[in-house]
Amino acid sequence: MKKQPLLYSLVLILILWQISTWIVHKNFLPSPALTGQYMVIHFSLLIKHMSVSLYRILVAIVITVILGSTVGILTARSEVLDRVVTPLLYTLYPVPKIAFLPLLMLLLGLGDASKITLVALILFFQIVISVRDSVKAIHPSYFIAIKSLGAKSSHIYRHVIVPAILPALFTSLRISVGTSISVLFFAENFATQYGIGFFIMDSWLKLDYAAMFAGIVTISFMGSALFGLLDWTESKLCRWVPKG
Amino acid sequence: MKSDLVMVVKDLSVHYPNRSALHKISLDIRANDAYTVLGPSGCGKTTLLYAIADLLSPKATVEGSRIATRPLKKSLVLQDYGLFPWKSVLQNVLLPIELESLKVENARERAMFMLKHLKLEAHLEDFPSTLSGGQKQRVALARSWVVEPDLLLMDEPFSSLDALTREQLQEDVLSMFNQSKMSMITVTHSIEEAVLLGRHILILSDEGTLSHVLLNPTFNMAFARENEAYYEQCIEIRKLLKEDQYEKTAPPL
């Protein structure tokens, strides 16, 4: 991310926040300074909660990238599988996955597994559809070119399909990470005492608004860090994509 | 010039669900020999090349045979270069060697030799999107030559390039042909290119049949473009192509 525009955005947000504090003038909207003070004093606590949330999302991303990409690639490469899987995808995709949380907790318990699975479900459909479409969009000349070099099937996956889908995969991840954080925030309100979602709601219930806003700022940093990580990973894995 | 056969194509016909592409093509491909294929658009030139390269679509129905007399290493150069945008120039050129699992040290040396020969050594880490058309085609040629193919197949390799770049690459191809033992088959729309790159010039008709096979005495002639015999050969081929077209369009008597 470019540093100067980011700095300007942060400064603008802080200014608007401070102006809102003056206008609203209620204790449930603490000032940036008060929130910042809380964050400094309770830095390690916030990091602990953020780490748990980050762990849940990253595990969900890794599992979904592997599973979702595999299903997407196989669906695109096989007409039979496409006819079976695609209607299922289109039927299940619009269903709000949050509704599955109680079922997941019954099946997988009250620990991280149910929360990670919920986030993974959100990401899965995005990635499968995005990967499937990008495989189908690979120009046939690439397959002809690699076969003309004597490639076997495994070579085609390694040298053509996987690299070709990477830009679309990263785009899909960027789109779905925002929703995933929101869903995780919701899921961390059930049967857990760790995670930034839990921290925010717990602070609200205790009427500790400085802590609540500290949690909100932390979740925002976490999201930014995730986007930054995705951008960095894409810059390493997709060096051929023109920047800007 | 060795005269042993590397491939025999006999009564080759290729049909697709909605059309017929080739009809009873027979051809003997000899070692270290050069063939060019000419004909109107849609007559099956590329289909013939893909049939020889074993790259036909599964939807194609093939009759007849194409039998290699020994295991053949084939390389194909495509009209749109066939370079992988996600691989650098060096990675693209090394790819066929990687696929054959040859030893890395030898592979790199051969790739570097080809890239230096084709004046690409300054672009090793560049990606194809940053190269000009001529540079891309040189990379494609380097990739096809690096495995020292027995049979080089080229599908209108220079059609999208400017005249001077095209002429330079034609010289490069002839130079490599003369330094190697490979056979080459070039599909082209250009009569001049066909005469330059083919000792045997095959003319396909609109119906996908082999209407003429000419022996080109000007092939590999030094300074061909400055030689009258070269242009006479071009004129002869032009006449044959026009006759084929006239026979097709002339009203019945």
pTM across the whole model: 0.84
Say if residue B168 is in the same domain as residue B233: yes
Say if residue B206 is in the same domain as residue B251: yes
CA distance B219 to A62: 59
pLDDT in tens, chain A (244 residues): 556 787 888 899 999 999 999 999 988 999 999 999 999 999 999 999 999 999 999 999 999 999 999 999 999 999 999 999 999 999 999 888 888 888 998 999 888 999 999 999 989 999 999 999 999 999 998 999 999 888 889 999 999 999 999 999 999 999 888 888 998 998 898 888 899 999 999 999 999 999 999 999 999 999 999 999 999 999 999 999 987 6
Residue B208 DSSP class: S
Say if residue B131 is in the same domain as residue B239: no
Give long-range contacts, CB 8 A cutoff, 24+ apart: A221-227. A221/A50, A222/A50, A222/A53, A222/A54, A222/A181, A222/A196, A223/A177, A223/A178, A223/A181, A224/A1, A225/A54, A226/A54, A226/A57, A226/A177, A226/A181, A227/A1, A227/A174, A227/A177
Point out the domain boundary residue: B149, B179, B199.
Answer: B149
Say if residue B154 is in the same domain as residue B215: yes
The minimal CB distance from A155 to the residues B80, B99, B127 is found for B99
The parent domain of residue B174 ranges over 1-7+30-56+150-253
What are the helix (H) ranges across B146-182?
163-179
Q: Specify the pLDDT at position B196.
A: 95
**Contact: A164, B86; criterion CB under 8 Å:** yes
Token pair for B45: 């030139």
Residue A8: φ, ψ to 5°: -60, -40
Distance, CA of A11 to chain centre: 25
Say if residue B228 is in the same domain as residue B238: yes
Say if residue B177 is in the same domain as residue B216: yes
Nearest-neighbour CA in chain B from A201: distance (Å): 46
The minimal CB distance from A149 to the residues B96, B127, B153 is found for B96
The minimal CB distance from A163 to the residues B76, B82, B86 is found for B86
Question: Which residues 6+ apart lie within 8 Å of A188 measured at CB?
Answer: A53, A115, A194, A195, A196, A197, A198, A201
Say if residue B252 is in the same domain as residue B167: yes
Nearest-neighbour CA in chain B from A120: distance (Å): 28
Nearest CA-CA partner of A183 in A97, A91, A94, A64: A97
Task: State yes or no: pLDDT of B224 exceeds 90.
Answer: no
CA distance B32 to A100: 68
Point out the domain boundary residue: B132, B149, B166.
Answer: B149
Say if residue B221 is in the same domain as residue B99: no
CA distance A223 to A217: 10
Say if residue B141 is in the same domain as residue B211: no
Indicate the burial class of B49 (C-beta count within 10 angstroms; 0-12, 13-18, 19 or more): buried
Domain count, chain B: 2
Identify whether the C-beta of residue A169 lies closer than 8 Å to the C-beta of residue A131: yes
What is the interface pTM, i.e. ipTM, of the complex?
A: 0.84
Question: Which residues 6+ apart lie within 8 Å of A140 measured at CB?
Answer: none
**Contact: A144, B78; criterion CB under 8 Å:** yes
Nearest-neighbour CA in chain A from B114: distance (Å): 17
Q: Per the domain annotation, does B232 fall within a domain?
A: yes
Domains along chain A?
A: 50-237 (1.10.3720.10)
Q: Per the domain annotation, does B14 fall within a domain?
A: no
Residues of chain A with Cβ-Cβ distance to B95 below 8 Å are: 146, 149, 159
Which pLDDT tens digit goes with each residue over B229-246?
A: 999 999 999 998 888 776
